[in-house]
Structure 1
Amino acid sequence: MDKTSRRIVEVLEEGSEFDSDFDDEYNVDEFAVSAGAGRDIPKDDEPNEAERNIVNTVSKAMDEAIDRQVTVSTDFVWQSNFDTFGGVPEDFSGPTPGPITDYDTPYEAFTDIWSTSFMEYIVQETNRYASQEIEKLRIAGKLKESSRLHQWTPTDVDEMYIFFAIYVFMGIDIRTSQHEYWKTTGYLEMPRFRQLMSYNRYILLSKFIHFADNSDRSQNLLQSERVVYSAKLAKIAPVLKHLNSVFSKLYNLRQDVSIDESLTLFKWRLSWVQSIRSKASHFGIKSYELCESKTGYL
């Protein structure tokens, strides 16, 4: 083996640091093909015996170096007999698991999560966004006389709670279209549902509900105590921050927890909607959640 080939093998065995002189002096791939000779050899030329010897030497040295790095010497021997296994679960010393407060009704638990103060924030941003959009259309001359936007009036906390309740009801009684919940004839009509809110008002609130001020450029990157929200999450970051906070304060998890991904159903256009065919809902927003194994509390 000549001096240059021996130097290559030594470096391959010992490893060269980033930006070392050797990396600048020798191109291993090029040298292996050219055998250290001129670098203008056509690619379709068959290597001669000297060239093949260098290639084999380099390849063997690389294989041996990799084997030495990944091989771990140990005296441990796997056995199929687990009678001698001495593992024991650790004692759970956390706070008493379960809800922090005893609730008499589900409504009390719901309002503890969706507090009045946070609902006031949602109302504020919804009214702000509605005013911005209607004014924008009016200035551009695109606000038609027949548009239902002329019927918009500012919302309040009581109405926002009713709006949320409507979505809860829709999740319990699933129908093929939103309009069916406001049917006025037929066996499937829901007269008491119509008493909650008119269909036009529901459409307006669905259009304008908002959680962040679009005019505030700082919303493009929100940072909570330990989480930085990207620009794509800017419009819902206040909701995520609020829920992560109250979920952790209102409940003490048990010892057994699970960290797994979840897919939230979402069929509209969104650049970060994913398609996971193994899920019941193929399209949605994937999130990673920490949940209690026994109850599923998030």
Structure 2
Amino acid sequence: MRGMRRGSGVRTRGGRGVLGGPAVVVEVIDMLTVDDRGGLIDVEARLERQSFRTIDDIIIHDIRELPEGRGLETPLREKRRRNWQPGMDSGIESPPASPMRHRIPVSPRTPRLQREDDISFLANCGSDSDSDDDDEETSGVVPVIIPRVYKSLMETPLDEDAAEEPAPATNTVPEDLEPADVLPKMTQQPRDLYDFEWRDFPTTPIPPEWRREAFSESNVGPTTPCADPYEIFIQIWDQQFMEYIASETNKYAQQVVSGMLENHSLRPTSRICHWQDTNASELYVYFALILAMGVVVKTRIEEYWGSSPDVFYTPGFSAHMSIDRFLLLSKCLHFNDNEEMCALGLEYSEARLFKIQPVLSHLNRKFQEMYRPAQNLALDESLLMWKGWLEFSQLIPNKVANRGIKTYEICESQTGYLWRFEVHARKKQSPQQVVDPFLEAATPATVLRLVKGLEHKGYTLWMDSFYQSPCLARRLKCLGFDCVGTLRTDRKFVPRALNSLTRQNMRQGQIAGLTSGDVDVMVWRDNNRVAMISTYHGYGQQTVRGSTKPILIHDYNIMMGGVDKKDQLLAMYPIERKRTKVWYKKFFKRLLNTSVLNSFIIHRQSSSSALTHRNFRYMLIRDLLAKHATPWPVLPLKKFKADVSHRLGEYPMRSHQRLRRACASCKRLVRTFCVGCDRAVCMDPCFVKIHS
């Protein structure tokens, strides 16, 4: 389980430094910034005025002491659980040696015999009372779970006798109770971005659904529903853009020929001498063959055009395009004119991505126009392996492909649909004065650029500790977003008391947290120390399958894997693994592969067919070849039957010269002979002609 902390199930980031240690990105900023009223704010002085500066200033709770609740997120597919009842098989009332559940972590100071919920779990495992299913589950309405402390405050007895008896617990909010009646002043907007007044959580917990932004986006899913794989793919790679790629490819081929003539490296046997201008239909066929290489995986490109009649024979590739033409298109494929690069006066980062920038802009626009994502969005980075020299390549040791091209991506959490992405190119800071150093730094500015266009719609961003900070969370909250994720406690404006909590001064199962009204921060001690941040979850715990965790952790584990889900689905069809010397052509194959995956997600959302991802690619490749290919004539294989006892041999050497004899068929002097019939014969075609 790479990238997982044992026990908590929370995805974490390993060291990003060269030596493998934790390398935290330190951004040098001016500690004087401008507030909304135009005055200067001394950030260091505000940090010094923060409360909760020591461990003694905060209260550390046990996880089971927190009010019970229920997470707002549900997985796309529920995990299957084996139902077992005591004595179901042989009448034995004792549980099996290893029941199918997660083991509940026990703190060192808690005796094992005092865990009554463990005993009740084993006694009622698989029974009706232990299951969460009820008759009202099919209605689609999730009941709101009211914490125990909150229930006691809502109870209003009619007389003194009724006040002495405990009121029965309910699982629904009373109809006459509204959020405005119980939401305290802590949810009011702060005076400015850096006004963090950390305090303990209120004794009356506020339900998370009341603090969460209301999701106002309607018609979630494809904007133009379509079930045909070919039609969806054509909407992304439309005819106009394919004609543009064809014109740039033809222009670059002429530049290659001119450069070879100037360098006197053009030979009559070069493939480029047989170049003919391409068009959009031929590029569609070229794309189809590239996609087919992800389904039929071979180690070398030449093996797809092999002519040996064995089990590895794939005549479909040679039937639609020759290998020389395929290699020529791979060499001359181009997306932008090199001669315009110097005349445009581009910035430092824009010049690096100039050759593939039209593809990046086109796909970003198409992905956003064709799909409206659901409420939960995962923001994470993806890495494409590139071992060659590249100035902006990244090294992330805890990833399998630990070196390559990094992209920041926003994906739908449950489906993995890529909605927007940005390539990390190490932008140089402009010399202009920075007004807001925290939000105009590299990482927060990237987050704000990726979510542009989704403001004030109630989206929830799930991010890891590489992006999260209290300032960014408050800024997103002001823009109508919610954000949840793990946190590095050494960030600015995080209470120092939480930063001083380590594994040594916390027992397993303990949790400590503070709130500033709109931003909550917590530190939980499971097998490891986990710091969390949220804008609506609050203080609550939930027990699922015998494992008690904060509600924030349950929801985070469900919704954070959007980008990882996309990478997992793409890894099954590795079209970008074919070797190339140009980095942006490999990155183009990754984008082509991603566009097919997005097309498949649109197809699944538009229709109720049970077409799998692999069959979707089969159908797309066949339609592209059927509608755009001009089939090449396939020569029939020559069938012959040769005697295995007859084989070719060579005459021995005599006086530093090999003997030669006249061929029995064509009378030419040859050095080869047939071992079976002891006659001089040519290798081709006389040997096959005589013995067929």
* TM-score scaled by length of structure 1: 0.70
* TM-score scaled by length of structure 2: 0.31
Cα offset, 1:69, TM superposition: 4.1
Counterparts of 1:239 and 1:188, CA distance in 2: 35
Counterparts of 1:267 and 1:158, CA distance in 2: 33
Q: Spell out the pairing of 1:86-235 with structure 2 (5 A cutoff).
A: 86=206, 87-88=208-209, 89-185=212-308, 186-216=310-340, 217-218=342-343, 221=346, 230-235=350-355
Quick one: which amino acid aligns to residue 325 of structure 2?
R
Cα offset, 1:256, TM superposition: 0.3
Q: Note if contact 1:213-1:219 (Cα within 8 Å) is conserved in structure 2.
A: no
Counterparts of 1:124 and 1:207, CA distance in 2: 15
Q: Note if contact 1:219-1:234 (Cα within 8 Å) is conserved in structure 2.
A: no
- The residue number in structure 2 matching 1:41 is none
- The residue number in structure 2 matching 1:81 is 66
Cα offset, 1:270, TM superposition: 2.5
Cα offset, 1:279, TM superposition: 2.3
Quick one: which amino acid aligns to residue 221 of structure 1?
L
Q: Where has structure 1 moved over 2 Å in runs of 4 or more? A: 66-71, 73-80, 82-85, 217-222, 265-284
CA separation of 1:134/1:101 partners in 2, compared to 1, >3 Å: closer, same or farther? Answer: same
Per mean C-alpha deviation after superposition, the further-off stretch among 121-130 and 265-274 is 265-274
3-state DSSP class of the match of 2:277? coil
Cα offset, 1:90, TM superposition: 3.1
CA separation of 1:209/1:219 partners in 2, compared to 1, >3 Å: closer, same or farther? Answer: farther
Cα offset, 1:71, TM superposition: 4.7
- The residue number in structure 1 matching 2:394 is 274
> Is 1:245 aligned to residue 362 of structure 2?
no
3-state DSSP class of the match of 2:397? coil
Task: Please give the root-mean-square deviation of Cα atoms over the aligned residues, in Å.
Answer: 2.6
Counterparts of 2:326 and 2:385, CA distance in 1: 21
Cα offset, 1:219, TM superposition: 5.4
Counterparts of 2:385 and 2:236, CA distance in 1: 22
Counterparts of 2:46 and 2:396, CA distance in 1: 40
Cα offset, 1:295, TM superposition: 0.8
1:218-275 Cα offsets, whole Å, 9 max, x none, are: 45638xxxxx952110101111011111110000000000110001233444332333
- The residue number in structure 1 matching 2:451 is none
> Is 1:290 aligned to residue 414 of structure 2?
no
3-state DSSP class of the match of 1:235? helix
Cα offset, 1:112, TM superposition: 0.5
Per mean C-alpha deviation after superposition, the further-off stretch among 249-258 and 70-79 is 70-79
- The residue number in structure 1 matching 2:639 is none
Cα offset, 1:104, TM superposition: 2.6
Counterparts of 1:96 and 1:76, CA distance in 2: 45
Quick one: which amino acid aligns to residue 190 of structure 1?
T
Counterparts of 2:339 and 2:371, CA distance in 1: 36
Quick one: which amino acid aligns to residue 70 of structure 1?
E
1:64-104 Cα offsets, whole Å, 9 max, x none, are: xx898435237985654233431214321113111111223
3-state DSSP class of the match of 1:236? helix
Q: Note if contact 1:260-1:288 (Cα within 8 Å) is conserved in structure 2.
A: yes
3-state DSSP class of the match of 2:51? coil
Quick one: which amino acid aligns to residue 353 of structure 2?
L
Q: Note if contact 1:229-1:237 (Cα within 8 Å) is conserved in structure 2.
A: no
CA separation of 1:73/1:277 partners in 2, compared to 1, >3 Å: closer, same or farther? Answer: closer
Cα offset, 1:213, TM superposition: 0.3
Counterparts of 1:69 and 1:274, CA distance in 2: 33
Pick the structure with more helix per residue: 1
1:43-81 Cα offsets, whole Å, 9 max, x none, are: xxxxxxxxxxxxxxxxxxxxxxx8984352379856542
Counterparts of 1:259 and 1:206, CA distance in 2: 33
- Gapped regions of structure 2 (runs ≥ 5): 1-30, 33-43, 68-146, 148-203, 419-692
Quick one: which amino acid aligns to residue 127 of structure 1?
N
Q: Note if contact 1:219-1:235 (Cα within 8 Å) is conserved in structure 2.
A: no
3-state DSSP class of the match of 1:141? coil
Counterparts of 1:293 and 1:265, CA distance in 2: 24
Counterparts of 1:264 and 1:219, CA distance in 2: 29
Q: Spell out the pairing of 1:64-75 with structure 2 (5 A cutoff).
A: 69-73=47-51
Counterparts of 2:46 and 2:363, CA distance in 1: 50
- The residue number in structure 2 matching 1:58 is none
CA separation of 1:218/1:237 partners in 2, compared to 1, >3 Å: closer, same or farther? Answer: farther
Q: Note if contact 1:220-1:234 (Cα within 8 Å) is conserved in structure 2.
A: no
Counterparts of 1:112 and 1:135, CA distance in 2: 36
Quick one: which amino acid aligns to residue 81 of structure 1?
L
3-state DSSP class of the match of 2:338? coil
Cα offset, 1:156, TM superposition: 0.4
Quick one: which amino acid aligns to residue 256 of structure 2?
E
CA separation of 1:220/1:192 partners in 2, compared to 1, >3 Å: closer, same or farther? Answer: farther
1:148-175 Cα offsets, whole Å, 9 max, x none, are: 1111111000000111111111122221
Quick one: which amino acid aligns to residue 208 of structure 1?
C
Counterparts of 2:351 and 2:393, CA distance in 1: 15
- Number of residue-to-residue matches in the alignment: 230
- Gapped regions of structure 1 (runs ≥ 5): 1-16, 19-65, 223-227
Counterparts of 1:242 and 1:121, CA distance in 2: 12
CA separation of 1:95/1:154 partners in 2, compared to 1, >3 Å: closer, same or farther? Answer: same
Quick one: which amino acid aligns to residue 407 of structure 2?
S
